[in-house]
Structure 1
Amino acid sequence: MQVADITTPNHRLGGVFRCAMPVRWGDLDALGHVNNTVYFRYGEEARAKLFEQARMNLPAARVGVLVHASCDFIKSLMYPANISISLTLTRVGRSSMEFTFLIEDESGVAYARGKNIIVCTDMDRGESAPWTADELERLTSCFSH
């Protein structure tokens, strides 16, 4: 296994991965707006699409595990709506990757922003593992400037 050299500049820091999805009726709470917990699900869906595009499908022996998730709620999101989730690559470590996220509607109105950190994990050993050069290239190639 070739471990990635994280000192190389080809990690597309500042690059953005975007995906779109509709707000579903079931995302709403009793007050008629998207429940705060659902914003984390939107982030989860964006990360799943990122891994799918990077050809890192689950289940797998090595996966990116979410170790940090934070969210600032800017504005209540209502149904119906189509949203865009943007993941911006902010840091690549030996075994981790950090990105900020932004959830906005089709007109560019922001509803939430936050940060996620994932760590490459060897599921057989149950511990973090350095990214391989191939994994890092496949993941970071999904982020465009």
Structure 2
Amino acid sequence: MSPEPLDIQTPSGTFEISIDVRWGDMDALRHVNNTAYFRYFEEARVRLFAAMGLDGADGRYGVLAHASCDFLKPLMYPARVVVGMKPARVGRTSLELDCWIADAGDPGTLHARGRNVLVCAEAATGRPLPWTDADRQALGRCFAV
């Protein structure tokens, strides 16, 4: 039986965090290095997992199965970025997220766009586990504004 689709009642349905760009995030050309974008997405995922209560305390974790990033416009230090996520698909054991990074001073201009696929997994075996009803409710809360 397929799980019910995620019911998000808000117009935006996004999960957003802000992160200060660190001096060490720069490359030799004073742009934020491409690896930093993946760290920003990682920080947003970790905070999403914490907000969902999927922190391993009950023997279950959220595991990254796929990450991609399109670099649209260079970010320069100093800056504060907004990292946003929106669910694209919720499967039985997986969650696809559309992700983006914008400068907090100009949130309408995207600097990067990506996709993350997360899987709920059992800590002891690493095997995928279905999302529980509580997980789905937590997702609904996290993506509500």
TM-score (norm 2): 0.89
Residue 56 of structure 1 deviates from its aligned partner by 2.3
**Match of 1:6?**
3
Q: Which moved more, 1:69-78 or 1:5-14?
A: 5-14
**Match of 2:141?**
141
DSSP 3-state at the match of 2:95: strand
Residue 104 of structure 1 deviates from its aligned partner by 0.2
Which AA in structure 2 matches 1:67?
Answer: A
Picking from 22, 30, 33, the partner of 2:31 is: 33
Q: Which moved more, 1:20-29 or 1:54-63?
A: 54-63
Q: Mapping of 1:121-140 within 5 angstroms?
A: 121-140=121-140
Please give the alpha-carbon distance, in whole angstroms, between the structure 1 residues aligned to 2:33 and 2:46.
20
DSSP 3-state at the match of 1:141: helix
**Match of 2:76?**
78
Residue 60 of structure 1 deviates from its aligned partner by 5.2
**Match of 1:111?**
111
Structure 2, unmatched stretches of 5+, are none
Which AA in structure 1 matches 2:92?
Answer: R
Structure 1, unmatched stretches of 5+, are none
DSSP 3-state at the match of 1:128: coil
The number of equivalent residue pairs is: 142
Task: State the superposition RMSD in angstroms.
Answer: 2.1
Q: Percent identical across equivalent pairs? A: 44
Asked if structure 2 preserves the Cα contact closer than 8 Å seen for 1:6 and 1:94, the reply is yes
DSSP 3-state at the match of 2:142: coil
Q: Mapping of 1:19-58 within 5 angstroms?
A: 19-58=17-56
Asked if structure 2 preserves the Cα contact closer than 8 Å seen for 1:95 and 1:128, the reply is yes
Residue 55 of structure 1 deviates from its aligned partner by 2.3
Asked if structure 2 preserves the Cα contact closer than 8 Å seen for 1:19 and 1:85, the reply is yes
